[in-house]
Structures are given as C-alpha cells and as structure tokens.
C-alpha cells in the first residue's frame, strides 16, 4: 500500500500477470503460425493445431487482456474516485485466483476439454470459477465507487461499469450447459439458436473486453499522459450510450448466409453500420484532444502509442461493418482476411493502449522512473512494423483465397480445388510468421523495460 492509502500491489500484480500471459500466448501463437505452413510441428495431441489455437486465443484474451484490464481498472478506479480499493484483501485474492484459473484453463484446453464456443471454450467447472472471479472484481468496483470522494464519475468509470455489468450477462447466458461429467457438458441451446447465442457473446466479448475497457484506459491515460483535457465531454456521452446500445444487436454479422433466420442477419448488418458513428466518436475525441499539440507525437513517447492505437481502432471499426455487408461477407468470410482484421484490433489497438497505460502507470505506482524511453520507442516501432506486416499479409492472403474459391472456368466449373487455395497461401504464412517474430521481439523489449523499471531502487522522495 502506498502512502496515499491506495492499493497498488494488486495493480502491479495484475500488470505483471498480464505480461506473463502475453509472452506465453504469443509463443503459442508463433507455434501455430508455423504449423500453418509446416504441419510437422503437430508433434503430440497436446501440440496439435486444433487444441493449441484455443490456448492462444484464451491465453491472450483472458490471460493478457483481462489481467491488463484488472490492473488498469483497479488503478483508474482508485485515482478517479480518490478512494482506496474498498476491499484490498479481496482484490489480492482475486489476483491469485485469477492466475490459478488461467493456468488451469490452459491445462484443460491442452487436454482437449473444449466446448468449441469461440472465446468461451472452457468447460463448466472453470466457467463457474470465472463467474466467481468476476463477482470478486465487481464487489470492488462498486464498493469503491460507493465510497468515492469525487462526486462526478469521469468517462472511464462509465466504461468500467458497463463492462462489469455486460460481461456478467454475456458470460453466464452463453455458457449455460448441462453437465455430463466434471469435464464434459452440452450446450443448453441447439443448432441455429446455439450459433446465435454464441456469436452474440463472441462479438460482444470483443466489444466489452477489447473495446469498452480499452476505451476506459484511453480516456483516462491519454489526458494524463499529455496534460490535455478530453476534447468533448458531450461527444463522449453520446458515443458511450450509442456504443453500448448498438453493440448487442450485431453478433449475427458473424453468421451471414448461414441457416440463421435472415432477419436476424439483416438487423445485425444495420446496427453494424450504425456502430461506425459511436466508434468514430471516440476516435475524433482522441484526435481533437491533441489539437494544437501534435508536437507531442515527437516529444512524448507515450502519445504515439495512444494515437496509433486509436487509429487502428478507427480502421477496425470501419473494416468490421464493411466486411459484415452480405456481398463483401460472401467473399471474405472464412478466409484469412478476417484473421487479419482481428489481429489489427488486438495487436494494434489493444496492445498499443495497454502498453502505453503500463508505461504511464508502473513508474507512478513504484516511484521509479521508466528504465529506458529509448527501449520503449524501439518496442513501439517493432510492434507497429510487426503488426502492419502481419495484418496486411493476411488481408492479401484472404483476398487471394476468396478469389480462388470463387474462380470458375468458362464452362462454369471450379478453377481450383481446395488444396490449391491452401498451398498458395504458404508464402503468406511464412511472412506472417516472420512478422509475428518481429512483434514478439518488440513485446520482449516491453517486458524487459518494465521488469527493469520495478527492479530499480525507488527514487529518494
């Protein structure tokens, strides 16, 4: 606990948990990226692509993403309420249980206990654990908010509240299942309904883990790092309510042209297009905050991360609705284009903003200066270059694959068999692996920089 009474051990604990799971998740990612062009790496059942892919997505989404959210939101909560965490011991228990749960989750997925619900693959006992962890977190969020010293709640707190409420609804509804044994259950829903529930969840888990809390970080840390107030409070109000309202209607754009009733698909398209507005509300708010102070892009190493991050968010939220349109979806869906799309959001927007938030936060909670701004800059350029090469490669690969699937001869027969479309992607897969390696080196520098920062002796006050 610091001299102000704020609970920072748990912030630090979650921050380094996030970094740990980030490295693990990326190693698994590199492994499966290699398997895509060289299946010889499927050495054992535990290392086969089908099992490893979910270790990658869960490790990064739940391990890195959630730990990063818990670290920053425990920090933001205390700063914005001017009150220490309501239940610091509960928060520490949350930290230890969280890491135990993620480790068990990884183990269970390696063993093939997998419900196949994308981003909700964990079997039911672990689902129960996740819900308990979430309740522990929510108690601290609302407990701290109720005893706050600052009357008004700043924008970031709205996003944290919305996430806390929505994730609970999404996770519980989507994971309802009938257990057969301790390690096996069947979904409560069947067929098209199951698909509809799952993609309502799948899309909104991206919204309320990779968007809403990351916006909370953006709205808090950008003004803090630059000393500039957010451009428009009114715009942030409109963006917030429109975003959380519209998001929940859009899940079915993942199910375009499937046997799901057409009206659900069409409603999803309409709301996806609508979502561009609140998404860009935040993008515009971010850009205009820097109005007249764009020199900070050069002079303040943190600003680059935030501005590039929000730029990728802006591109992501344009690309998403466009590829949800039926005609474009018919071409792009099921190809690597979508894989590229997802990774622009995660490797670009999410990782950039969490990186900058940690760079701002860790020195302040430890009383140490950042080990090296030079290394932070190197980290920035490596993850930017790595991510851009990664995603652009996948977009091109996706276009090629989509085109090959659709190509016909003059007599109307198919021009390529499926395997042709797979093998033609191997050069892209090799380049993607190389780009992932560059990105990974950037992340290792990030981790090293923060480890060195906390290992320094505190600066004399």
Partner 1 sequence: MGIYSKPVVFAVLSAVVILIGTIVTVFIPLFMPSTQPVSPLIKPYTAIELEGRDLYIREGCNNCHTQTVRPLRTEVLRYGEYSKPEEFAYDRPFLWGSRRTGPDLNRIGGKYPDSWHYRHMQSPQGMFEKSNMPPYGWLAENPLDTRYSIKKISVLGYGYSAAEVERQIADYRAKVTAADYDSKETRDQVTPEKLRGDLTEMDAMIAYLQKLGRDVKNLEATK
- How near is the Cβ of 461 to partner 1 at its closest, in Å? 34
- How near is the Cβ of 276 to partner 1 at its closest, in Å? 16
CA 314 vs CA 162, 199, 275, 317, 348: distances in Å? 21, 22, 11, 5, 11
Window of 113-121, 357-365, 369-377, 444-452 that interacts with partner 1 by CB under 8 A: 113-121
Of 4 and 423, which has the nearer Cβ to partner 1?
A: 423
Among 107, 330, 451, 459, binds partner 1 (CB under 8 A): 330
Of 37 and 137, which has the nearer Cβ to partner 1?
A: 37
Class of residue 309 by CB neighbours under 10 A (exposed 0-12, middle 13-18, buried 19+): buried
| Number of neighbours of residue 253 by Cβ within 10 angstroms | 28
- Count of residues touching partner 1 (by CB under 8 A): 92
Among 100, 334, 381, 458, binds partner 1 (CB under 8 A): 334
- How near is the Cβ of 377 to partner 1 at its closest, in Å? 35
Judged by CB under 8 A, does residue 136 bind partner 1? no
Burial code (b: 16+ CB inside 10 Å, e: under 16) for 23-43 equals: bbbbebbbbbbbbbbeeebbe
Give residues 402-441 in contact with partner 1 (rule: CB under 8 A): 405-408, 413-414, 418-419, 422-423, 426
Q: How far apart are CA 284 and CA 349, in angstroms?
A: 15
Q: How far apart are CA 196 and CA 176, in angstroms?
A: 14
Among 4, 27, 135, 241, binds partner 1 (CB under 8 A): 241
Stretch 32-61: interaction string toward partner 1, x if CB under 8 A: ---xxxxx--x--x--xxxx-xx-------
Of 309 and 436, which has the nearer Cβ to partner 1?
A: 436
Of 150 and 369, which has the nearer Cβ to partner 1?
A: 150
Q: How far apart are CA 135 and CA 7, in angstroms?
A: 19
Class of residue 279 by CB neighbours under 10 A (exposed 0-12, middle 13-18, buried 19+): buried
Q: How far apart are CA 460 and CA 449, in angstroms?
A: 21
Stretch 139-178: interaction string toward partner 1, x if CB under 8 A: ---x--xx-x--xxx---xx--xx-xxx--x---x----x
C-alpha torsion angle, residues 404, 406, 411, 414 (rounded to 10): 60
User: Which helix or strand (DSSP H or E) is residue 141 part of?
Assistant: helix 124-146
Stretch 242-261: interaction string toward partner 1, x if CB under 8 A: --xxxxxxxxx-xx-xxxxx
Stretch 57-96: interaction string toward partner 1, x if CB under 8 A: ----------------------------------------
If you write DSSP's letter for every residue of 270-331 in order, what string do you get?
HHHHHHHHHHHHHHHHHHHHTTT-TTHHHH-HHHHHHHHHHHHHHHHHHHHHHHHSHHHHHH
DSSP-based three-state secondary structure for 101 = helix
- How near is the Cβ of 452 to partner 1 at its closest, in Å? 38
**Contact (Cβ atoms closer than 8 angstroms) between residue 129 and residue 62:** no
Stretch 279-318: interaction string toward partner 1, x if CB under 8 A: ----------------------------------------
Judged by CB under 8 A, does residue 197 bind partner 1? yes
The residue among 13, 20, 115 whose CA lies nearest residue 59 is 20
Judged by CB under 8 A, does residue 113 bind partner 1? yes
Q: How far apart are CA 266 and CA 7, in angstroms?
A: 47
Window of 116-124, 213-221, 305-313, 343-351 that interacts with partner 1 by CB under 8 A: 116-124
User: Which helix or strand (DSSP H or E) is residue 378 part of?
Assistant: helix 373-406
Judged by CB under 8 A, does residue 376 bind partner 1? no
- How near is the Cβ of 38 to partner 1 at its closest, in Å? 8
- How near is the Cβ of 154 to partner 1 at its closest, in Å? 9
Judged by CB under 8 A, does residue 339 bind partner 1? yes
Of 192 and 284, which has the nearer Cβ to partner 1?
A: 192
Of 197 and 445, which has the nearer Cβ to partner 1?
A: 197
Q: How far apart are CA 84 and CA 92, in angstroms?
A: 14
- How near is the Cβ of 319 to partner 1 at its closest, in Å? 16
Q: How far apart are CA 66 and CA 17, in angstroms?
A: 10
DSSP-based three-state secondary structure for 408 = strand
Of 40 and 461, which has the nearer Cβ to partner 1?
A: 40
Q: How far apart are CA 18 and CA 62, in angstroms?
A: 9
Of 37 and 313, which has the nearer Cβ to partner 1?
A: 37
- How near is the Cβ of 459 to partner 1 at its closest, in Å? 36
Among 33, 101, 105, 195, binds partner 1 (CB under 8 A): 195
Of 131 and 452, which has the nearer Cβ to partner 1?
A: 131
**What is the end-to-end Cα distance of the chain in Å, rounded?**
16
Of 374 and 406, which has the nearer Cβ to partner 1?
A: 406
| Number of neighbours of residue 283 by Cβ within 10 angstroms | 21
Judged by CB under 8 A, does residue 107 bind partner 1? no
């Amino acid at each position: 606990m610091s001299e102000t009474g704020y609970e920072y051990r748990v912030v630090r604990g979650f921050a380094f948990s996030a970094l740990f799971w980030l490295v693990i998740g990326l190693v698994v990612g590199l492994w499966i990226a290699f398997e895509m062009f060289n299946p010889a790496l499927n050495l054992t059942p535990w290392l086969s692509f089908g099992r490893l892919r979910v270790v990658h997505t869960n490790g990064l989404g739940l391990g890195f993403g959630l730990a990063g959210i818990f670290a920053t939101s425990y920090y933001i909560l205390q700063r914005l309420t001017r009150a220490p965490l309501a239940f610091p011991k509960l928060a520490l228990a949350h930290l230890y249980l969280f890491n135990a749960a993620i480790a068990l989750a990884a183990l269970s997925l390696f063993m093939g206990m997998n419900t196949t619900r994308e981003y909700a693959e964990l079997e039911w006992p672990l689902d129960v654990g996740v819900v308990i962890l979430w309740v522990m977190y929510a108690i601290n969020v609302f407990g701290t908010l109720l005893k706050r010293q600052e009357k008004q709640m700043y924008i970031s707190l709205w996003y944290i509240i919305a996430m806390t409420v929505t994730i609970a609804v999404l996770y519980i509804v989507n994971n309802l299942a009938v257990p057969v044994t301790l390690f096996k259950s069947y979904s409560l829903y069947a067929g098209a309904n199951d698909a509809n529930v799952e993609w309502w969840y799948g899309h909104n888990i991206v919204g309320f883990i990779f968007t809403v809390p990351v916006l909370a970080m953006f709205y808090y840390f950008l003004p803090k790092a630059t000393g500039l107030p957010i451009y428009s409070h009114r715009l942030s109000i409109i963006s917030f309510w429109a975003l959380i309202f519209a998001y929940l209607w859009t899940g079915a754009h993942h199910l375009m042209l499937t046997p799901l009733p057409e009206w659900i698909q069409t409603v999803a398209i309409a709301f996806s297009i609508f979502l561009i507005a609140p998404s860009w509300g935040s993008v515009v708010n971010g850009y205009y905050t820097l109005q007249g102070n764009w020199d900070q892009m050069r002079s303040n190493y943190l600003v680059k991360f935030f501005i590039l991050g929000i730029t990728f968010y802006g591109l992501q939220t344009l690309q998403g609705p466009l590829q949800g349109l039926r005609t474009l979806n018919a071409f792009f869906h099921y190809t690597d284009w979508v894989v590229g799309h997802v990774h622009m959001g995660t490797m670009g927007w999410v990782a950039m903003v969490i990186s900058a938030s940690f760079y701002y936060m860790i020195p302040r909670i430890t009383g140490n200066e950042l080990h090296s701004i030079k290394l932070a800059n190197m980290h920035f350029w490596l993850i930017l270059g790595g991510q851009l090469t990664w995603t652009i490669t996948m977009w091109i690969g996706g276009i090629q694959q989509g085109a090959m699937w659709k190509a016909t001869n003059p007599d109307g027969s198919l021009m390529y068999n499926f395997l042709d479309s797979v093998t033609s992607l191997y050069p892209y897969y090799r380049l993607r692996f190389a780009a992932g390696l560059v990105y990974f080196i950037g992340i290792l520098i990030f981790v090293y920089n923060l480890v060195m920062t906390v290992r320094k002796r505190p600066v004399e006050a």
